[in-house]
Copies of this chain bind each other. A is one copy, B any other.
């Protein structure tokens, strides 16, 4: 399969592994890139020196293209961007901020820039900022999310009709079926998070991976909307958030309850009780913990089978 996304990144399959805090270090990113997709190191949970080390390890582990995801609200942002440039990373996905601020700076340094959005307004801003592609992420996605709550089924065609650059669909996509659906809606690539969080090479704690496998319909909710909306697995910490709501907690009280380090505690250290467990609705369809390369291959196989089924009618 060749399209604008495979051309843009120089990859075999238009499958991008989403940059996820505490899940996507060099092992996952290089495994996905080696399998023909695009792996992303998620820098959002890394101190600058860790990020540099991760990039160096990734370069040793693959000679295929890979990228780094940089949340634009991160405190060490400037250092992260300098390291990305110094280490010769050629692809950067920015998220959680204004695409106008860093796109020009990155592109002047020869870097391909993709920005993640959850609404039409920011998709248009991306176009104006000169990004090379857009990730459009629906309400069903894990982790931080938009306030419009627009789902992947609605968001992808809305954005694809408004922009001329390629659109990468995210949110609810962990199978070849969903990839085919996203392509019908106008996407030219898919960004897959949750499905890769529960793979062998993911740096998530084994207990979190098993919690993903155990999740079912209704196991997640987009919550903490007064802070930054985030889709979480409904564990004990989530229940405490719900109790806080019942007790009419203020924004400050919610912020204090969330505290610092809860995502690390849950996803990286495996504390399923007190930790914050970010995952998408698609977890309900994740039943195994395969190698990341197997996910890429099985998604492409299923994609081809779906297209064949659709045309045989």
Contacts and interface: CB of A to CB of B under 8 A. Distances in A.
A310 B180 contact: yes
Given A184-B181, A222-B149, A310 B313 contact: no
A1 B313 contact: yes
A155 B150 CA distance: 15
A3 interface: yes
A138 interface: yes
A61 interface: no
Interface stretch (A63-71, A79-87, A170-178): A170-178
Nearest to A176: B184
A288 B312 CA distance: 33
B121 A217 contact: yes
Contact of A181 (B3, B185, B307): B185
Give the top 7 A-B pairs by smallest Cβ distance, nearest first: A148-B218, A153-B172, A181-B181, A180-B184, A151-B151, A181-B184, A120-B217
Interface of A: 1-3, 119-121, 138-140, 147-155, 157-158, 161, 171-173, 175, 177-178, 180-186, 216-218, 221-222, 248, 281-282, 284-285, 306-307, 310-311, 313
23 contacts: A1-B313, A2-B313, A120-B217, A139-B139, A139-B140, A139-B151, A149-B218, A149-B222, A151-B151, A153-B153, A153-B171, A153-B172, A153-B178, A154-B281, A155-B217, A157-B178, A177-B185, A178-B185, A180-B310, A181-B181, A184-B306, A248-B248, A307-B311
